[in-house]
């Protein structure tokens, strides 16, 4: 089993048609989860994450889908969410249980109406996130305008980690402002990441962008500030660590660039997910209300503790009812008896499966840190929790964001 620090529970959220599912498809391809890229509105069987017939017919995402993939030594549990406002509850219930997120923006339109909605949802649940400005190959693409809109309309503090090599039809790659190298994407599907020196005509602009990046993040690192004042070389690891610290503390939002449909920038996005987004151990502790003591308690992420899990989605299919859960503490096994705090009844988990879009994998156990892909089939109509607490599906107000209202069963 992978160490918990090598797990990322993330979702992708954006305005409709910003490219969420296209990005998800490339992520699955580059992580070798799939061996052929399917387009959202193509003539073939449709994108992997859009498994419903209506989704493939309309070319939109209607329901959130979960899948697991691996990038280098990191396990990524990914949820692709809908962008249409009519299905925003799918985004809400997904963000409720995620550790981190990718906010996708259209490189031409920038911040749109649903971008504001999903940003508000991320803030409500204090979700650390990175931003990906997509569609830089389109006419009118301007990532700098999109970044300005993030500041003005969303009130965020974006920091640009990359610089584009060309725009619109001339967009061919990006410059990594930390490594100060140019990245190009070759091969039929952009699978070959080629690193070259920065083009001479862009070196001055890239240096200016890097200086601005270091100046903005150095406020979180005395060591970096000292090196900058002494005009010393800044180690890459120090930059990565400082950006990660600021991201987890919600101080700023790392911004990456690319074009998913042209297969550019997705490998860098995967690297950013592993470098900057939190593991289950990095997230803020869950606060629960213990009915037995009438006090709030902190839920420690420990597999040996009593189970604390949140049931956040129910579905019905040909196999019966499935309940999606996020485990915050403890271990869940088939046969466990769980307490439903709402109905004040116990139910028994008969099966435990991992959901991979529309496929299932039987599990013998699930431990804390796992999310969404865990689905339990119970012998009663509703899911509950093992011996300790069960939670409301969402906070009641902005003030209660990040806190679960939980109840203990009677003795």
CATH of the domain at 105: 3.40.50.300
Checking if the pLDDT of 404 tops 60, the result is no
Decide which of 287 and 224 is more confident.
224
Q: What is the pLDDT of residue 66?
A: 80
**pLDDT category, 67, cuts 50, 70, 90?**
confident
Helix (H) or strand (E) holding 40, with range, is: none
Same domain, 153 and 290: no
* Domain annotation covers residue 176: yes
Q: Which of the listed residues 231, 249, 276 is the one where a domain comes to its end? A: 276
User: What pLDDT shows up at residue 398?
Assistant: 35
Distance CA 159, CA 130 (A): 10
pLDDT the model gives residue 164 = 97
Per the model's pLDDT, the better-predicted residue between 88 and 15 turns out to be 15
pLDDT in tens, 160-217: 999 999 999 999 999 999 999 999 999 999 999 999 999 999 999 999 999 999 999 9
Half-sphere exposure (Cβ direction) of 176: Cα atoms closer than 13 Å: 21
* Pick from 192, 193, 190, 169: nearest CA to 182: 193
CA 274 to chain centre: 11
Does 389 have pLDDT greater than 60? Answer: no
Tell me whether residue 19 is in a domain: yes
**Domain contains 281:** no
Confidence class for position 273, pLDDT limits 50, 70, 90: very high
Please give the pLDDT value at position 53.
58
Query: If you average pLDDT over residues 13-25, what whole number do you get?
Result: 86
Residue 176 and residue 66 in one domain:
yes
CA distance 241 to 275: 8
Q: Would the pLDDT of 233 be above 60?
A: yes
- My answer on whether 30 and 101 are in the same domain is yes
Residues 210 and 305 occupy one common structural domain: no
Q: Clarify whether residues 68 and 35 are in a common domain.
A: yes
* Helix runs in 192-283, H state only: 203-217, 222-229, 236-248, 266-276
Q: What is the percent of the chain with per-residue pLDDT over 70, rounded to a whole number?
A: 80
Q: How far is CA 3 from the centre of its chain?
A: 19
Cα gap 99→104, rounded to integer Å: 17
Give the domain extent around 323.
Answer: 286-407
The two tokens of residue 69 are 């993939």
Q: By the 8 A CB rule, do 308 and 336 touch?
A: no
Highest mean pLDDT among 16-20, 67-71, 128-132: 128-132
Scored b (16 or more CB within 10 A) or e, 201-215 reads ebeeebeebbeebbe
CB 331 within 8 A of CB 366: yes
Beta carbons of 77 and 47 less than 8 angstroms apart: no
Report the C-alpha gap between 279 and 301 in whole angstroms.
11
User: Token pair for residue 382?
Assistant: 């509703």
For residue 314, give the CATH number of its domain.
2.40.30.10
What pLDDT shows up at residue 41?
Answer: 63
pLDDT above 70 for 16: yes
pLDDT at 411: 26
Closest by CA to 85, choosing from 57, 113, 110, 111, is 113
Same domain, yes or no: 194 and 335: no
The CA distance from 293 to 241, in Å, is 40
Residue 287: per-residue pLDDT: 77
Binned at pLDDT 50, 70 and 90, residue 291 comes out as low
Residue 310 pLDDT: 81
Average pLDDT, the chain: 81
Helices (H) and strands (E) in the chain, counts: 9, 23
- Are 322 and 355 in contact by the 8 Å Cβ rule? The answer is yes
Enter the pTM of the model.
0.83
Whether residue 72 has pLDDT greater than 60: yes
Please determine, for residue 384, whether its predicted confidence score (pLDDT) is greater than 70.
no
What is the H or E stretch that residue 95 is in?
helix 88-95
- Same domain, yes or no, for 78 and 116? yes
Q: Decide if 228 is inside a domain.
A: yes
For residues 239 and 234, give the distance between their C-alpha atoms in angstroms, rounded to a whole number. Answer: 7
Q: Is the Cβ–Cβ distance between 126 and 401 less than 8 Å?
A: yes
| Domain boundary, last residue among 228, 250, 276 | 276
Predicted pLDDT of residue 116: 92
User: Does residue 306 share a domain with residue 269?
Assistant: no
Those residues with Cβ within 8 angstroms of residue 293's Cβ, 6 or more apart along the chain or in another chain: none
Last residue of some domain: 257, 276, 295?
Answer: 276
Q: Report which of residues 269 and 337 the model is more confident about.
A: 269
Asked whether residue 263 falls in the same domain as residue 229, the answer is yes
Residue 382 domain flag: yes
Please count the structural domains in the chain.
2
Question: Residue 160: its pLDDT value, please?
Answer: 97
Which of the 8 DSSP states describes residue 170? G
Tell me what the mean pLDDT of segment 360-381 comes to: 57
Length of the chain: 411
Looking at the structure, tell me whether residues 124 and 207 fall in a common domain: yes
**How confident is the model at residue 140, as a pLDDT?**
95
């Amino acid at each position: 089993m992978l160490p918990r620090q090598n797990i990322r529970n993330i979702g992708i959220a954006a305005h409709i048609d910003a490219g969420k599912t296209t990005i998800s498809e490339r992520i699955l391809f580059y992580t070798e989860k799939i061996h052929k890229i399917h387009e959202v509105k193509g003539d073939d069987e449709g994108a992997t994450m859009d498994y419903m017939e209506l989704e493939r017919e309309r070319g939109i995402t209607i329901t959130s889908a979960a899948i697991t993939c691996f990038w280098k030594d990191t396990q990524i549990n990914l949820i692709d969410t809908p962008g249409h406002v009519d299905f925003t509850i799918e985004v809400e219930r997904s963000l409720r249980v995620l550790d981190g997120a990718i906010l996708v923006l259209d490189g031409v339109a920038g911040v749109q109406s649903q971008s504001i909605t999903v940003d508000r949802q991320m803030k409500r649940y204090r979700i650390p996130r990175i931003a990906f400005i997509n569609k830089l190959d389109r006419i009118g693409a301007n990532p700098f305008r999109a970044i300005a809109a993030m500041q003005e309309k969303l009130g965020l503090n974006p920091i640009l980690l990359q610089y584009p090599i060309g725009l619109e039809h001339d967009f061919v790659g990006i410059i990594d402002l930390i490594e100060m190298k140019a990245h190009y994407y070759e091969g039929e599907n952009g699978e070959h990441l080629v690193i070259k020196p920065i083009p001479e005509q862009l070196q001055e602009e890239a240096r200016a962008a890097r200086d601005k990046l270091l100046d903005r993040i150095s406020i979180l690192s005395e060591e970096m500030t000292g090196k900058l004042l002494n005009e010393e070389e800044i180690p890459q690891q120090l930059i990565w660590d400082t950006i990660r610290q600021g991201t987890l503390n919600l101080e700023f939002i790392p911004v990456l660039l690319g074009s998913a449909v042209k297969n550019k920038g997705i490998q860098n996005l995967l690297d950013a997910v592993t470098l900057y987004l939190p593991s289950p151990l990095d997230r803020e502790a869950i606060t629960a209300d213990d009915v037995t003591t009438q006090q709030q308690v902190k839920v420690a992420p420990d597999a040996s503790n009593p189970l604390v899990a949140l049931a956040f989605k129910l579905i019905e299919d040909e196999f019966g009812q499935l309940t999606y859960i996020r485990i915050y503490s403890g271990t869940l096994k088939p046969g466990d008896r769980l307490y439903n705090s709402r109905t004040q009844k116990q139910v028994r988990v008969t099966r435990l499966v991992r959901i991979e879009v529309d496929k299932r994998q039987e599990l013998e156990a699930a431990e804390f840190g796992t999310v969404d892909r865990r689905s339990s089939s119970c012998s009663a109509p509703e899911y509950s929790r093992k011996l300790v607490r069960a939670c409301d599906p969402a906070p009641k107000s902005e003030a209660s964001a990040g806190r679960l209202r939980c109840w203990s069963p009677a003795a």
